[in-house]
């Protein structure tokens, strides 16, 4: 029974990896990612202080969300 479960999980993982590989190889997606990267870099260059402050705020919020209430 455990072997069947492991085989089933392996098949699902293989399928997910193959789908992920196809998505990453998509040229249109690659171009959109490159465009987004360029826009982000231009924005950071134009507004470095705001970019750092936004990054710190996002990091703080993610940290609070992952840490939870430990009071």
Q: What is the DSSP letter of 17?
A: H
Domain of residue 30 covers 2-67
Query: Mind listing the pLDDT tens digit of every residue in the chain (71 residues)?
Result: 688 888 888 999 999 999 888 877 888 888 999 999 999 999 999 999 999 999 999 999 999 999 876 65
The structural domain count of the chain equals: 1
For residue 49, count CB atoms less than 10 angstroms from its CB and return exposed for 0-12, middle for 13-18, buried for 19 or more. exposed
Which H or E run includes 67?
helix 48-67
The pTM assigned to this predicted structure is 0.51
Compute CA 2 distance to the chain's CA centroid, rounded to the nearest angstrom.
Answer: 32
């Amino acid at each position: 029974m455990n072997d069947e479960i492991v085989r089933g999980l392996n098949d699902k993982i293989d399928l997910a990896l193959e789908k992920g590989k196809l998505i990453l190889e998509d040229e249109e997606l690659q171009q959109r990612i490159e465009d987004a990267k360029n826009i982000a870099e231009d924005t950071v260059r134009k507004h470095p202080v705001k970019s750092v402050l936004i990054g710190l705020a996002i990091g703080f919020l993610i940290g609070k969300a992952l840490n939870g209430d430990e009071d």
